[in-house]
Amino acid sequence: MRTIVHLSDIHFGRLDPATIEPLRAAISRATPDVLAVSGDLTQRARREEFAAAKAFLESLPFHRLVVPGNHDVPLYNVFTRFLTPLARYRRTITDDLAPVYRDSELIVVGVNTARSWTWGEGRINARQVNDVVAQLSGAPRDLIRIVVTHHPFDLPGGVGEGRLLGRARMAMAMLSTSK
């Protein structure tokens, strides 16, 4: 049986530094087969925040699957936000915006749902969903299948649908076709 540790919304730049070592120790004790990190590694996509996130991730000797979140896109530098929104993320964390982990028990597929022009909810497109369906459909049927995104495909009751991933219904319908 595999162990997966999932982290999201770490927000280096806002994170209390006193929490880093206990978090690192807890992850190490879990000895995960996969560390899935679903975005918002930084608070404002600043160089020093990405450097801290990179150092933290590199201190964990486990296979990592990392996708960006909306906070990993610069907020105040409009030029960068719209022309090269994930340049710092790609330079510092990973250039792979569609990572895949696969072993004899599971397949984990990451999807970038962060966009320049959304402020928090994110979006997915048909090409991305087709890529995920292809990955999942090409895997043996007995594998556990996990899709990692920063933004949710579904929400608990009481949370307004405005917080839902853009095109979530389309994505769920297409994902349900993977065999």
Token pair for 177: 């076709």
The number of domains in the chain is 1
The domain that holds 39 is classified in CATH as 3.60.21.10
Q: What is the per-residue pLDDT across 38-51, written as a single tens digit (0 to 9) for each?
A: 999 999 999 999 99
Identity at 127, one-letter amino acid code? R
Distance CA(9)–CA(173), nearest Å, equals 27
User: Taking a C-beta distance cutoff of 8 angstroms, is the pair 67, 99 a contact?
Assistant: yes
In this prediction, residue 125 carries a pLDDT of: 97
Q: Could you identify the residue written with the tokens 């918002």? A: 40
CA 102 to chain centre: 16
In this prediction, residue 119 carries a pLDDT of: 66
In this prediction, residue 174 carries a pLDDT of: 94
With a cut of 50, list the residues of the chain below it in pLDDT.
none
Distance CA(44)–CA(70), nearest Å, equals 9
Which residue range(s) make up the domain with 146?
4-175
Token pair for 49: 């925040």
**Which distant-in-sequence residues (6+ apart) come within 8 Å of 71 by Cβ?**
9, 11, 39, 40, 41, 42, 43, 44, 45
Q: What is the per-residue pLDDT across 71-81, written as a single tens digit (0 to 9) for each?
A: 999 988 888 98
| 100-102/106-110 β-pairing | antiparallel
- Sheet containing 144-148: which strands, arranged edge to edge? 100-102, 106-110, 144-148
